[in-house]
Structure 1
Amino acid sequence: MQNPPLEKPIQLGTVFRLWLPLAGSWLLMGVELPLFTAFVARMADPEINLAAYGSVAFPISLVIEGPVIMLLAAATALCSDWRSYRKVHRFMTVLSAILTAVHIAIAFTPLFELVVHTLLDVPEEVVEPARLGLQIMTPWTWAIAYRRMHQGVLIRFERSQWVMLGTLVRLAVLLAVLVTGFAFKLGPGIAVGAGAVAAAVTAEAIFIRVISAPILRDRLRPAPDLGKVKSWGAFLSFYVPLAMTPLLTLIIQPAGTAAMSRMPAELASLAAWPAVHSLVFLTRSSGFAFNEVVVALLGREGGARALRRFGLLLAAVTMAVLLILGWTPLAGWWFGRVSGLNPELSRLSSQALLFAFLMPGYQAMQSWYQGILVHRHRTRGITEGVLLYLVVALAGLSVAVAWGRFPGIFAALVAFSTGGVLQTLWLRHRAAPILAELPDSIDSSKS
């Protein structure tokens, strides 16, 4: 995909201005799990409810919604005219309905016992709270799909600041439900927390659709048909590899739960995981936001060079932030005071943080290389990279379970990080020929 060049070449400032609202949106989304943890940790049975959400209900919900995550990138790349928008919208509707049916089947039928007992093997005291949380999360997949598709339209037309407004709405609703549920003791922590998350994502989806209406009316409807989505076959050949990427990546989350359940300090690792994962997610969030920026700007004059420089800076800064947090008392303050974990869980979480310091760095570079591949509709390499990640991470988890020497959370982070680094190197390999073809091509050996 080649966009017509702009009058002015792309500079670092251009990249920063488009990236900043998206990064702010991801950062605010990253605040969601720490808020959840902070409230639930101060309610009854915190370890059980945190483990039920962070290690069962939330990962299962993420796996089910996996195929819709890349609707953001697809809409950014394809929704340039009304016909293309309608085709992507129709696909989103059908896919969301199917996945919501899957969610209901797992949450409300005996399939839940199969998944939780046979596959995940979580502690018995976690099972019923996790079931309740998963049932409450039923609107999750549809809301995420609807929101991400329309966010892609906003980014396509350089309205990324509206994406951040939607995230603020989500956070406000989340906080309102958490405060109300906590103050009036409306139910167990898992019910209050999962209810807050479900209400928040639904409110955000509605807001994004409303605020994108002028773009749909004034920009997409009158736009000439550019033939971006020529047929369903062409669309599926573009989207299926994209959809497999987050799906395969998210499968590793329940696998991590299953592995931690079979290693030393199982309940402590499962309870600490939401707090550690949420803090690592905060540092990775800026890298997630970079992907759509690459898709939007790469074909423009000066885009490749400015985007590469920005990606390298982003990787260095985010890794430094996580290292500073892990090596100083800031980690103990965050996990103990902010997240409300007890001293044992706070200490375990602080130690675990150091095993994850590479994650924000390779996330930024993955977004750079993935954006290149999406920009040129060569998405197969993305799926190959995720398969490599999955194989390496699963192998690492299997070795750790067999060895059984360290707390599960440490082993899981090492396995995930090793797989992520190798995935990044593979994406670099697949993107190098495309970089060489660009007008402001960069020596692929330096990228």
Structure 2
Amino acid sequence: TDAAESLFKLLSPEERKCIPKASEFHFCVVSARRASTVEGVQDIFKVQCQFDEAGVVPTWYVDSDSVKEYRKLGLQAVEGGRLCPSRNKALKDANLLGKICVQASDDISAWEYRHGKRAASRDDALCNAAWAKAKRYVLSPLTAAQFIVAKMRGAPQPKPKLGGVYMLGSCSRTMAGEEFGTKHFILGDFFVVDTGSKVRFDENLNLKEDYDFSCSHIRAHGGVMRCNRMTLTVKHYSNSGGACSNRDKKGKEEQRNIGILMDKWPRALRFNPKRTNEVIMSWPADDDAEGKHHEKRKPSQRPGAGKPGKTKAVAKKTKVTRPKAHHPSNAIILQTEKSKEANNARIKPYVARRCGRVSGKRVSEVLGRLKYTTAEGETRTYVTSDLSYDLQRGFLKLKASKSG
């Protein structure tokens, strides 16, 4: 389609070679107890119609009691069981078929992608303005899956096997950051698992299973591929049936699942201080997500421990003002071998180019003067923070000038 062709132009030539055909996917919709209510049936048909329009037929993995009801609606439905067993059956079936597994929730009404200039800072007003100006692509589930897989397969080694979308309905907060993340949470509402992955869902979990699946993939394959500018429109908590029926008013099931997650990934997950019974995933820089080389937190040290549904107040931290980095204006900037694109597959091409341009010049000759182009095509001025970043990463080094 025109929308797909337009979106695929955002991929590099190498990534475009990695776009899979529709026949290479096994599309799955995980659902339960939704075919017996008017609201549920409406949501089911919204999802099914979008797959139909894309020319693909999804398999619905549903609870044993509802299989007949789903089939009466004309759906290709199979018994999956509870949430995680259904997810694992879908993965197993895709593996037997030798296909990429795509899993979607049963209440998605839209897929979209935003592409535009990066915001100058994380200021909300600037991010919102950048988001509003960005080009909006309305996608089919097939196009979304093809784009994610192309990014995964076109990535440097180690290639991720799990890819997905941003976890909120709006990606405005990401407009000041990177378009793609490799150590991030992958939302369970829509994700792709490439062939060759042996990671499975922990069937001890019946909520927040996507946090464990994300962490397990980072551990097994070195990373994931989250498209920070791709979003979904979903009902999440408000829909009837499905995983929502696993929640209880007191939050005991949420806490049980969080306890399992915290035991498995104590240094990758932390309690969300603003939202009850929610967690935040942040993969540690030292890669010790399991806490093998660090002392594990005691239950009493965990926010909200012993008080179901509540979290302790977090003390307001005093903002520390760090002195700005000072680089001798007469020092000569030299490019290191590490910053040359041919020697380092992980360096961003535009960073490698700017390092080459500043090399051999004095600090005073480039700061506030030299212009460079970002990956998004935006022209920026090379400033102190850019030089500090390049020095800290080992892309550049400074040599004292002999002349005054």
TM bracket, shorter-chain basis: under 0.3
Larger Rg: 2
Which TM-score applies when normalising by structure 1?
A: 0.23
Which TM-score applies when normalising by structure 2?
A: 0.25
Report the structure, 1 or 2, having the larger helix content: 1
